[in-house]
């Protein structure tokens, strides 16, 4: 499945065709994704405890993954995802502009974070208040 959580997608068929939204949840086994603000259903929620109130709640129902297309963040177009192998990683790429869709990969970002993790933590040094010479002399004068 080429759609992941937090991807921006465009609905291409059905009642909500043309709407864009962020993927809230994905279930690869069922082949469905839940998109924010799309396929909204009303559900009656019954009060289970004495202090709760019964209400009608709006929830997003899942859509079939074949009904959505990933939107590229850099060129803002609905695309078919292309895969490239960079080193040992399989990365999702936009075929139109060549931008990487995987935010976690980021290329240089990971290498920089490893370098920060390899550094030893700085030793904490306790700062003590030093007495100034002027204060010490005034105390001696008082005695």
Which neighbouring-strand residues pair with 22? 8
Q: Is residue 31's pLDDT more than 70?
A: yes
The model's confidence at residue 112, banded by pLDDT at 50, 70 and 90, is very low
pTM score: 0.65
Give the residue extent of every domain in the chain. Answer: 1-71, 77-120
pLDDT value for 141: 56
Query: Which residue, chain included where needed, has tokens 């009060």?
Result: 47
In 3-state terms, the chain is what percent helix, strand and coil (to 5)?
Answer: 15, 35, 50
Phi (first) and psi of residue 135, to 5 degrees: -70, -45
At 18, list the tokens. Answer: 């043309």
pLDDT value for 127: 75
SS3 105: coil
Distance CA 130, CA 127 (A): 9
87-105 pLDDT, tens digit each: 888 999 999 888 898 876 4
- Is the domain 1-71 a CATH 3.40.1190.10 member? no
**For range 40-61, the mean pLDDT:** 94
């Amino acid at each position: 499945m080429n759609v992941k959580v937090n991807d921006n997608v465009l609905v291409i068929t059905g009642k909500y065709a043309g709407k864009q939204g962020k993927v809230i949840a994905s279930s690869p086994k069922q082949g469905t994704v839940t998109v924010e603000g799309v396929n909204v259903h009303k559900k009656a929620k019954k009060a289970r405890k004495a202090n709760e109130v019964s209400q009608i709640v709006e929830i997003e129902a899942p859509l079939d993954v074949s009904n959505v297309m990933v939107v590229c963040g850099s060129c803002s177009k609905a695309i078919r995802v292309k895969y490239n192998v960079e080193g040992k990683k399989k990365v999702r790429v936009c075929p139109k502009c060549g931008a990487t869709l995987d935010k976690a990969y980021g290329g240089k970002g990971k290498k920089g974070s490893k370098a920060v993790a390899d550094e030893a933590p700085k030793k904490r040094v306790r700062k003590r208040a030093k007495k100034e010479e002027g204060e010490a002399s005034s105390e001696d004068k008082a005695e």
